[in-house]
Amino acid sequence: MATIPLQEPVYKGSAGPVFFAAGFRPFFLFAAVQAAIMLPLWLLVFFGILPLGANWNPVVWHAHAMVFGFAGAAIGGFLLTAVPNWTNSHHVSGRPLMLLFGVWLAGRLATAFAGVLPPLLVAAIDLAYLPILAVLLAKPLMAAGKWRNIAFLPILGVLWLADLCVHLEAIAGFSSGLKGVYLGLFVVLLMIVIVGGRIIPSFTQNWLRMQGQPVTMPDGDWIEKGGAAASLILAALAQLVLPGSALAGALALVAALVHGWRLSRWHGLKTLSNPILGVLHLGYGWMVAGFALLGLSAFVSGLPASAAVHALTAGSVGTMVIGVMSRAALGHSGRPLQLAPATVGAYILISVGTLLRVLAPVVGGAVAELTWAGGLAWTAGWLVYAVVYFPVTTQPRADGRPG
């Protein structure tokens, strides 16, 4: 089975603050900070306590912060950490990393104050992050001839186009904002399908072998040769073109079945005693649940699509992000893969918050209460992560090596 290893990368040392010695340091920490700040702000806006202060559709503004801000930072941190390992090249560090992080942060501030700044300026600042990230990744990938992993570059390109669609609504009044954030979400989910499909079975197989429980993982069948990705892409296209239609619902249910079957073959139940591994299975499981809910929402009048969206976003994206970040940050900072109990608590808070938010529009009479409770629990999970991993991301490696 093809794998994307999250093993020890090549560090050649770099001048400057240790916080900018490797991409996972600023981007993993600030992905958590972004989540912990922007979701409470959205709750205050959603319930009319604070004005939005931006000339955006409020739902688009919230979704953009999560997809392109939060997930965008996590994707950047992951790729900046993984590509040197794939290519045996030096990490992006020092001034180039400072520049990239500064552009990402400027984009967050620009969109937060979109009602004050000119829309073109907001778009120019926010849209600069992904192209710079792609340029920094393209050089080592192409130099090493890693054409298989170069596929992530066009994926980043589609994510940039999705972000552009959001800004075109603010700039020219096109009704493209929601389409843009949905396209961006499906791109992020596609990355979970690709990366998760490589690391989850690999990590699981290796750990179970060490526990004296050798297992065989599926390899080379139609699901692993593109069927999993194709099912997601078809479901995504249907939702973008014919949202809420019977066809879109049916394709979402097919995607749920395909990915549910894929997940069931990875022996996830055997990882329950190992939270740092089990959380990755849980994150993929939230995607299965999200597509199932999305499909059912086309046929069940009392099931709104928003329940499915939050299972896919807060659930799958949120859980996979915290699972990968907590594991990778430990490994790449020279620490053993042993979770602090508080991190396990953060995992639980993320999923409890997601469950409450999914139930909020379904359970009659308690929408506000469940929305508040779910949002605050999800936020608390990210606050816990930020506190636990602040020293991990800001202090030198525990083993004394560079990076």
Q: Return the pLDDT at 4.
A: 40
Q: Return the pLDDT at 54.
A: 75
**pLDDT one-digit tens code per residue, 249-271:** 999 999 999 999 999 999 999 99
How would CATH label the architecture of 24-394?
Up-down Bundle (1.20)
Considering only CA atoms, which of 386, 280, 392, 275 is closest in space to residue 331? 392
Cα–Cα distance measured from residue 9 to residue 12, given in angstroms and rounded to the nearest whole number: 10
Domain boundaries, the chain: 24-394
SS3 content of the chain, % helix, strand, coil (to 5): 75, 0, 25
Sign of the CA dihedral with 224 first, then 286, 282, and 325 last: positive
User: Residue 298: helix, strand or coil by DSSP?
Assistant: coil
Residues of the chain under the 50 pLDDT cut:
1-7
Q: Return the pLDDT at 6.
A: 45
Contact by Cβ (8 Å): 362, 307: yes
For residues 323, 332, 157, 316, the Cα torsion angle rounded to the nearest 10 degrees is 0
Contact by Cβ (8 Å): 307, 293: yes
**pLDDT one-digit tens code per residue, 96-144:** 999 999 999 999 999 988 888 999 999 999 999 999 999 999 999 988 8
* Phi and psi at residue 299, to the nearest 5°: -120, -15
User: In the numeric block, which tokens belong to residue 155?
Assistant: 């994926």
Q: Return the pLDDT at 219.
A: 81
Q: 151 burial class (0-12, 13-18, 19+ CB within 10 angstroms)? A: exposed
User: In the numeric block, which tokens belong to residue 253?
Assistant: 């249910």
* Phi and psi at residue 77, to the nearest 5°: -60, -40
Please spell the DSSP secondary structure of 95-162, one letter per residue.
Answer: HHHHHHHHHHHHHHHHHHTTTTS-HHHHHHHHTTHHHHHHHHHHHHHHHTT-TTGGGHHHHHHHHHHH
Q: Return the pLDDT at 373.
A: 97
Considering only CA atoms, which of 253, 202, 249, 258 is closest in space to residue 230? 258
